[in-house]
Amino acid sequence: MAISVKALGIDQLNIEERLSLVEEIWASICADSASFPLTEAQRAELDRRVRDDDAFPDHVIPWEEIKASVRARLAR
C-alpha cells in the first residue's frame, strides 16, 4: 500500500489535528538532521540568516503569531 494522506487516514483529521501532525513530523525530521548533511551553500545561507537575526533581533515575528495567522486563514 502506498503512503498517502488517504491511506493513513489523515484526511479524516480536522485542520488543528493535521497542523499538529505536521509539527510533529517536522520535529522528528529535525531530530534526525544528521541523516541529511547540509551543502556548503546551505550552511552559508543559514550562517547569513543567523547573522541577520543577531543584527536585527526585533525584525522577527514569533512562531505562535505566525501559527495563529495561518490557522485563522485556514478557518475561513
- CA pair distance 47, 39, nearest whole angstrom: 12
Instruction: Name the percent of the chain lying above pLDDT 90.
Output: 62
For the entire predicted model, the pTM comes to 0.52
Contact by Cβ (8 Å): 21, 13: yes
DSSP secondary structure code for residue 44 in this structure: H
Placement of cell 556548503 in the chain: 40
pLDDT tens digits along 8-33 = 999 999 998 999 999 999 999 888 87
Find out whether 30 and 36 touch, Cβ atoms under 8 Å. Answer: no
User: For 39, phi and psi rounded to 5 degrees?
Assistant: -80, 170
pLDDT at 25 (0 to 100): 93
pLDDT at 34: 80
